[in-house]
Amino acid sequence: MKINYKILTIVPIILTLLSAIFVAVHGIPKSIDVVGGTEITIKAPKDTNIEQLKEILKNAEVKKLESQSGTFIVIRVDKNTNIDEVRKVLKEFFGVDDLSKLDYGEKQIGPSLSEKFWEEGIKAVGFAFLFMAAVVYFVFRNPIPSGAVILAALSDIILALGGMSLFSIPLSTATIAALLMLIGYSVDTDIMLTTRVLKRKSDGLDERIKDAMKTGITMSVTTIVAMMVLYLVVTFFVPVAETLKNIAAVLLIGLIADLMTTWLTNAGILRYYISEYRKEK
């Protein structure tokens, strides 16, 4: 049974709309890089039970990370939390009168700096998308193929944000950088597809799409495998490198989404443009 390509074209669009609704309802967690706050890291004995610490620090994010270099307790609190009270709790929990006796680290980000990070991150994504759209239109000089490329890139970003909301991946300077990289990956495959379909005249439409698909899917799968390896290595061997894990997770979600938006939506729009729209004109 052959499915109409127009039905397949709208599937990623529907998923994008659902993702946008999910983000609007549930929101995306924000790291202290974005909202401001304090991150405390303590090297602790392997058998440290953090459940009691979680009960005491109910408004804090408490994690236990293990790596080859030891076991680490990571506590993150927002800018409204009294950090002196947190330090007092930690002294009592670990039985010391001075936190310097522990392998203790503390990172603070003030509200003004975090607000600056947030503003600059949003500007970076906005300008990147704007210039990408301008370049795409300049290359193809046609609103329909150009719009398809821009729609695919926008869908990838929205679906990645939906994945971040679903899996509680915090929005941080690192994940904003991952979203910027995702724009590049998305546009790469979409421009390759559009160029081969519109510029190459030697083969039929189906052959041009299939040829582009072989190259594009190989490119995407290669990157997906690399990000999956990075994610697994960080998860099981270097869990303290949580930033790398979050970057890999965002790119994985976005690249998997890109397979749908490029080869279902973009390819479907191009097929309609060439086989039906231009003939009507």
pLDDT at 255 over 60: yes
How large is the average pLDDT for residues 185-204? 87
**Three-state secondary structure call for residue 74:** strand
| Rounded alpha-carbon distances, angstroms, from residue 123 to 118, 177, 269 | 9, 12, 30
Cβ-based neighbour number of residue 88 at 10 Å: 12
Q: Tell how strand 37-44 and strand 70-78 pair up.
A: antiparallel
Place of tokens 């490029």: 262
pLDDT at 278 over 70: no
pLDDT on residue 275 = 83
pLDDT at 1 over 70: no
pLDDT at 113 over 80: no
pLDDT on residue 225 = 97
pLDDT digits (tens, 9 = 90+) for 13-67: 999 999 999 999 999 988 887 777 888 888 888 778 888 888 888 878 888 887 7
With contact defined as beta carbons under 8 Å apart, do 38 and 76 qualify? Answer: yes
pLDDT digits (tens, 9 = 90+) for 142-172: 888 899 999 999 999 999 999 999 999 998 8
Dihedral angle sign, alpha carbons of residues 153, 156, 162, 168: negative
Task: Give dist(CA 90, CA 209) in Å, integer.
Answer: 60
Provide the CATH topology of domain 5-32+112-280.
Multidrug efflux transporter AcrB transmembrane fold (1.20.1640)
**Architecture of the domain delimited by 37-109:** 2-Layer Sandwich (3.30)
Q: In the chain, which residues fall in CATH 1.20.1640.10?
A: 5-32+112-280
Greater pLDDT, 239 or 180:
180
Task: Give dist(CA 51, CA 195) in Å, integer.
Answer: 56
> What's the predicted TM-score (pTM) here?
0.86
pLDDT on residue 96 = 85
Q: How large a percentage of the chain has pLDDT more than 90?
A: 38
Where do runs of H (alpha helix) occur along the chain? 5-26, 32-35, 51-56, 83-94, 111-140, 143-166, 173-199, 205-236, 242-260, 267-272, 278-280
Task: Give dist(CA 281, CA 276) in Å, integer.
Answer: 9
What pLDDT band is residue 230 in, cutting at 50, 70 and 90?
very high
Task: Give dist(CA 148, CA 125) in Å, integer.
Answer: 19
Averaged pLDDT of the chain: 87
pLDDT on residue 114 = 62
With contact defined as beta carbons under 8 Å apart, do 144 and 277 qualify? Answer: yes
pLDDT at 280 over 80: no
Q: For residue 101, what is the DSSP state? A: G
pLDDT on residue 281 = 56
What pLDDT band is residue 92 in, cutting at 50, 70 and 90?
confident
Task: Give dist(CA 83, CA 109) in Å, integer.
Answer: 12
With contact defined as beta carbons under 8 Å apart, do 205 and 271 qualify? Answer: yes
